[in-house]
Structure 1
Amino acid sequence: MVPGDDAILSNLRRGALEYCVLALLRPEPRYGLDIARALTADGVLMSGEGTLYPLLARLRNAGLVETAWQESSAGPPRRYYALTADGERAIAAFAQVWQPFRDAVDAALEQRAEPT
């Protein structure tokens, strides 16, 4: 990585990570470790679990997700996170804004200086 890559990635994550979590919950409720594994799989969206649980707490406090404990056959009960109606609206709004934003960033990055 180029010097400064970590700072750039950190800023990008800060703006998009909560919506990535909401998007992961669209198909079905998931438990924390399952969410963490999905987000850390490529090392881009999240580098470790340390930021996930505070984020999930903020999403719960904001009314975007709700939680329920479920028994697990592989150990102790797990806290599952599910989207609320407000969470569905939030991810839908983000999806509408994301594509034009992404396209604008891609267009800016593709700009080349005019030869003189």
Structure 2
Amino acid sequence: MTSSLEEPWPSDWNRASLGLCALQALEAGPTYGYAIITALENAGLGTFKGGTLYPLLTRFETAGWLEVEWRPGANGPGRKYFSLTPAGAEELTKQQHQWLTFTDRTTAFLTESPVAAETATHNHPDTATTPTRVARSKR
């Protein structure tokens, strides 16, 4: 769980990562929405509301990435359990790779000096169409 001293992540970061993290939470097997939210909170990823998660899970079900099963509750109402389909497992693997590549590149960019980043942009074939920084002259 996030510490009270830690600032919350910017909400757009949470929105960007929620889908991937929800798929990851389902990798271990079927679970229900509140358990996914709790797992994300316990991992220090922030606080999520069901009104944000459940529409996402419904979109994933429509995409064929999730199967849904209603299970009776032991001491209360039934719960909707979600599990990954084979297509969902493939999507998780794809998104994991994309996310790790993106965060590696973002981290490299944030930790490079502006001159090194400009040089890397000019010399890297994958970034040939990426706008380059304009060097500022010292006065």
TM bin (shorter chain): 0.7 to 0.9
In 2, Cα distance between the equivalents of 1:107 and 1:53? 34
Kept in 1, the 8 Å contact 2:64–2:87? The answer is: yes
In 1, Cα distance between the equivalents of 2:50 and 2:78? 19
Report 1 or 2 for greater relative contact order, CA contacts < 8 Å, sequence distance ≥ 6: 1
Matched, 1:101 2:72: no
Count of residue pairs brought into register by the alignment: 110
Higher strand content, 1 or 2: 1
Match of 2:111 in 1: 110
SS for the counterpart of 2:102 is helix
SS for the counterpart of 2:79 is strand
Kept in 1, the 8 Å contact 2:37–2:48? The answer is: no
C-alpha displacement at 1:83, in angstroms? 0.3
Q: TM-score, normalised by structure 1?
A: 0.80
C-alpha displacement at 1:70, in angstroms? 0.9
Match of 1:14 in 2: 15
In 2, Cα distance between the equivalents of 1:113 and 1:97? 25
Identity of aligned residues (%): 34
Pick the structure with greater CA Rg.
2
In 2, Cα distance between the equivalents of 1:47 and 1:95? 20
- Structure 1: gaps (5+ residues): none
Q: TM-score, normalised by structure 2?
A: 0.68
In 2, Cα distance between the equivalents of 1:42 and 1:68? 26
| Cα RMSD, aligned residues only | 2.4
Question: What are the equivalent positions in structure 2 for 1:36-75 lying under 5 Å apart?
Answer: 36-41=37-42, 44-75=45-76
SS for the counterpart of 2:106 is helix
